Amino acid sequence: MSQDQSAQTHADNDRRALRHWQEWEVTGREIRSVFCVATAIELRPGMPGFDEGELQKLIAEAQSMMAAGDSAMDLLRIVPEE
C-alpha cells in the first residue's frame, strides 16, 4: 500500500523531491514504516550529474518532512523518479 502525495515545487531546483509516500516493511512480526521520496536528481556517486551537496539537501528535507508528520517513520527510502 502507498499513498502518493505531491511535494511542493522547489524554486532552487525543480529536480528535487517530486512526490512522496509511505510504505510498510513487514518481516515476521516486525513492521517498519518507510518514508519514500522520488526524485530526478542523480543518486549514483561517480555518474555525470551527481552532486553530493544536492543529495544531502534532499535527505535533510526528507528527514524534516518525516519529523513533521503525524506518525513516526522508521526508514527513509529515496528512489529515482520513473
**pLDDT tens column, 1-43:** 444 444 444 444 455 656 999 999 999 999 999 999 999 999 9
Whether the CB-CB separation of 66 and 77 falls below 8 Å is answered with no
69: cell is 508528520
Neighbours of 81 (CB within 10 A): 12
pTM of the prediction? 0.74
Mean pLDDT, range 63-79, rounded to an integer? 92
